[in-house]
Amino acid sequence: MTTLNFKDTLKIEHACTRLSLDYSHYADSHQMDAWAGLFAEDAEMELMGQHHKGRAAIRASVNTNNPEMASVHKLHNIRIDVVNETEATGTVGVSLFVAPRKDGVGQVKDIAPVVMGNYQDVYKKTAEGWRFARRAFAPVIVKQQG
């Protein structure tokens, strides 16, 4: 797909993989300003039927902090395709677990993800480094309510 050498391709793949890992880490640890900083200023995000354009709108779309809830984003099947030296695309599988906290720890009777799906990503190199240009979540399995 690209004419970059192997070393440069690996560097880009690593940087884009790290974006996905940081996305989950910052979300799970309620560091939402750092989370929003993973997006380019003009980025787009589609999440659970909502579309947001621009880093500020993406940041505003999420709760500031909800210490009563614990979340764990488990990532799998991370696949990055380098387009060129400033663009890449990717697919990242995610299983999301959420539980109310009691004594600082999320607690549920039965542990199961509330949703499993895939992020379809476009990454771009910016003055700040590699960032999400577009991130769209497509659910594959959703936990039934009730």
CATH number of the structural domain spanning residue 104: 3.10.450.50
Measure the CA–CA gap between 129 and 83, rounded to whole angstroms.
Answer: 16
Closest CA to 50 of 143, 139, 130, 140: 139
Percent of the chain with pLDDT over 70: 95
Domain that holds residue 15: 6-142
Mean pLDDT, residues 38-65 taken together: 91
* pTM score of the predicted model: 0.91
Give CA–CA dist 24/84, Å, rounded: 26
pLDDT at 80 over 90: yes
pLDDT band at 65 (very low <50, low <70, confident <90, very high): low
The DSSP secondary structure of 68-109, one letter per residue, reads TEEEEEEEEEEEEEEEETTEEEEEEEEEEEEEEEETTEE--S
- DSSP state at residue 109: S
Say if 1 falls within a structural domain.
Answer: no
Domain count, the chain: 1
91: in domain:
yes
